[in-house]
Amino acid sequence: MFVVAGPLPMAQAAMVPTNQVLQAAEPVNPAATDRERLNGFLARDDVRRQMETLGVDPNDARMRVAAMPDSEVARLVGKLDQTPAGAGWFATLVWAVVVIAIVLLITDLLGVTDVYPLGN
């Protein structure tokens, strides 16, 4: 009951000049933000494991990101934004099946295998 009947603080509202808002806003450095995103990506456990599997030292990768020019960092972050996770698996599967079928056809024509009934 006290909460409903008790004193509540009053909200204050006033016009804020544009120059005050601009002074209070911190300038955003897109290059620093992109570099932070790329370092955050490299710090993920799954990315770290994949780098170690491929023989890349994660610390070396971080040092290389620090040495990259801002334009290259922006390009890489753009690629991260455009590539959805797990995308392209179906196209890869189709290409693998096509390549295997062509290899089997060539080996069948050479007489090494007998996969397709070509009238041999």
Domain ranges of the chain: 29-83, 86-120
Query: What pLDDT sits at residue 12?
Result: 80
pTM of this prediction?
A: 0.46
* 44-79 as b/e: b if 16+ CB within 10 A: eeeeeeeeeeeeeeeeebeeebeeeeeeebbebbee
Over residues 23-37, the pLDDT tens digits come to 776 666 777 788 888
